[in-house]
Structure 1
């Protein structure tokens, strides 16, 4: 294959773009890649370009790195499109997603995947991705669209119905959680064999073994000995009740279910150490960190740290370019992959990657209680996607009505009023027919 053209969409996410550029250019087979950085923010785009050129110099590779605010130019002939956009950004998008529900007494931790915040983020994001995909169909119809943008499942599900472009969604929760569990039980993570399946942020380790030994008894021992990390109490509690460990962090998971965040139950917040408003706090910290680091990253006399991340993106590109197989965890359309989840929904499973592209592993049936728990989240995803695809605004309210956390906190009149307020507050960020 020719030197691949790799387009970064939303490249103003400079720190994440830095990790991915370092990953890609660290592979010998990809050192001559053409990387095109695209964003609507010229300042952030310029900062990302400066970082990319610094990585190129440090690695001494012949890669081509350029930046543009012209989307058509960025996509034209792209072999791979890596998407990392955040429509409406932290301000106003995330702020509205948190502050408006809070006025109704509905508190959240991350609000980017499910819940009323996740629904709104999907309404902002899927139409933009679908519009981009029309350009891809015209300018690079054979590209692989690698989506990192949240809400992962709703974005990928929506695109599967609105676009012909091949898409795989990537998330780092599987390898991150494996490393955390490995640290908890004192087993090197690179010696652990695991099998994970489910939906994004609610997938479970169906197998977690070391040289044929089931490691779940050792994880139970962590609970018995009182060694559960303070920041991971929710997931260990779910493990105690379900018998399987979930992939997504405790702060995320606590808002996907109705049991941990409840008005008037501060004892639960304290007992499970739930970080309410965690995402806005994280965003503010990242902004402050970036302001401190920005000058250093653009200073030609200072180097950047290049260390391979756990992200799957570069492994996919390398495998498809060279034919050397790799196994990644991807979010793909459920086409007879998990038999007791709805066909067409977005599932997260191991996938073989080579020149043939992304080839998901057929899982069969999940343990029924895990599938039932996932279904409560899939209901919300399905109705949100249906609203976007069909333009039926009522389904936004139905999605909110069926959201586990929202329904546990608010009555139907409150849910209707809150949803209406959020749609109004988002204004032009949401398609006119859905406002």
Structure 2
């Protein structure tokens, strides 16, 4: 058993924390301490109690001491890994991010990465990550840092900008879902029933806008079957985790019609769910109206839905903490613990990951945060050079990547003009006039100013 310490920033998480804790519990070669740090102390204490109950499960194979830290320094001290998973702001701020643009018939299916909502979320999140990076530099500079927070690219960018020597990367499971989709294609077209872990996919892009250029099962190239598969399922759709119409009751579901349409258009497969992909395209393509969204068979994830889900998770967490509801201890499909094991030298792991571009995406700006495969091994992460994309999807990525770069510079410099330039250049803002864009930007900023006033001169900017 390897004894380690994990500092969990955002340790009051209502969902991902339990997945992470149970994955650790079934690991046979790791044990130690999980230091939970969160500004929501009550939620961190709840997860501490859930962790203690996980230790009592007959399925648990390793013991973890769950500690609740009221200051970040105690959590980070002597940490082997730092895991970051936070919600920047509350659902009130998210409500503005997602729904304020609807006044101008600008719709968002997620609103946490791209589009006007992604810009406002970035404005709140980057200053927090500046603080995290500085504290990591002070308390545990050689620790591996794993980010799960969205916007993934700009969060990872902030960590490296404040602390260039940091050992950090961003993890996202969107590619995993597309690998499940590819397994379904393989089964439909060949009868072979494979697991996603048996595939090798070559990926290239930016977070939530990553593309697959090759997908192999042994010596079989699954992309060779894509045209035939899409001819069968383009109209009715196919969802890898349920029925094609699951989006009608589950607003996180989708029928992959956007993904298939983009493949038909560009000849390579986008590797994220339709809800994310649509937000990187001009608003009239897939998100022009709720009716158009329904025609493409995905959903607008409303904040009301998220609030309802959060209340359910809080109630469930309390029951698990009190022991009135058992915690199901089993391995999930997430790969964080597998990556940790590889970094500790137990194995070698290849997985998609968000890192600064050091040449793994030739022709794209160096230092920009990109998503490709990387090899995880003993205390190292080595990105793998990705196969190039056709020029058309390359141009799409470049537009969004430079938007992120410009947005980051604006936030770093607290320059609202630069931030607005990124805001108005979001593909989802393509139907707005400049006047409308200015009005919307001001409204969204002022709606969430409680989390912005500390960092930006808002009144001075909007009164000029």
TM-score scaled to structure 2, two decimals?
0.88
The residue aligned with 2:462 is: none
Report deviation, 1:311: 2.1
Residue 222 of structure 1 is aligned with which of 217, 229, 238?
229
Residues 393, 285 of structure 1: CA spacing in aligned structure 2 closer, same or farther, 3 A cutoff? same
Aligned residues of 1:222 and 1:228 also touching (Cα < 8 A): no
The verdict on how the C-alpha distance between 1:243 and 1:282 changes in structure 2, with shifts beyond 3 A counting, is farther
2:104 aligned counterpart, secondary structure: coil
Indicate which of 292, 302, 318 corresponds to 2:341.
Answer: 318
Measured after TM superposition, the shift of residue 280 of structure 1 is: 1.6
Q: Match of 2:25?
A: 25
From the superposition, tell whether residues 184 and 250 of structure 1 become closer, same or farther in structure 2 (CA, over 3 Å): same
**1:260 and 2:285 are equivalent in the alignment:** yes
User: Which residue does the alignment assign to 2:362?
Assistant: 339
Aligned to 1:115: 115
Query: Could you tell me how far apart the structure 2 residues matched to 1:366 and 1:411 are?
Result: 32
* Paired position in structure 2 for 1:57: 56
Structure 1 residues 88 and 161 mapped into 2: Cα distance closer, same or farther (>3 Å)?
same
Distance 1:220 1:279, change over 3 A: farther
Once the 2 structures are TM-superposed, how far is the Cα of residue 368 of structure 1 from its aligned partner?
Answer: 2.2
The structure 2 residue matched to 1:246, chosen from 244, 263, 270, is 270
Secondary structure of the 1:225 match is: helix
CA deviation after TM superposition for structure 1 residue 67, in Å:
1.1
Distance 1:293 1:75, change over 3 A: same
Task: Compute the displacement of 1:221 (Å).
Answer: 2.1
**By how many angstroms is 1:207 displaced?**
0.8
Q: Partners in 1 of 2:179 and 2:2 — Cα distance? A: 35
Q: 1:142-190: per-residue Cα shift (whole Å, max 9, x none)?
A: 1111100000011112222222322100000111211123124424124
**Residues matched between the structures, number:** 430
- CA–CA separation in structure 2 for the residues paired with 1:310 and 1:349: 19
Secondary structure in 2 matching 1:101:
helix
Kindly provide the CA deviation profile for residues 206-258 of structure 1, in whole angstroms up to 9, marking residues without a partner as x.
Answer: 11122322212333222212352242211111111111111111112112101
SS in 1 for 2:256: helix
CA-atom RMSD, angstroms?
A: 2.0
| Partner-residue secondary structure (3-state), 2:333 | coil
Unmatched 5+ stretches in structure 1: none
Counterpart contact for 1:37–1:74, Cα < 8 Å: yes
> 1:261, CA displacement in angstroms?
4.1
> C-alpha distance in 2, partners of 1:269/1:62?
46
Asked whether the equivalents of residues 182 and 222 of structure 2 are also in contact (C-alpha less than 8 Å), the reply is no
Counterparts in 2 of 1:56 and 1:295: CA distance versus 1, 3 Å: same
Q: Deviations over 1:281-340 (max 9, x none)?
A: 441342242144234312336421122222222122111223422122110000111012
Q: CA deviation at 1:279?
A: 4.5
- Aligned residue for 1:309, secondary structure, equals coil
Report the equivalent of 1:420: 442
Unaligned runs of 5+ in 2: 188-192, 239-243, 245-254, 459-464
Q: CA deviation at 1:14?
A: 2.9
Per mean C-alpha deviation after superposition, the further-off stretch among 294-303 and 45-54 is: 294-303
1:269 aligns with 2:293: yes
Structure 2: distance between partners of 1:254 and 1:65: 40
Q: So what's the TM-score if we normalise by structure 1?
A: 0.93
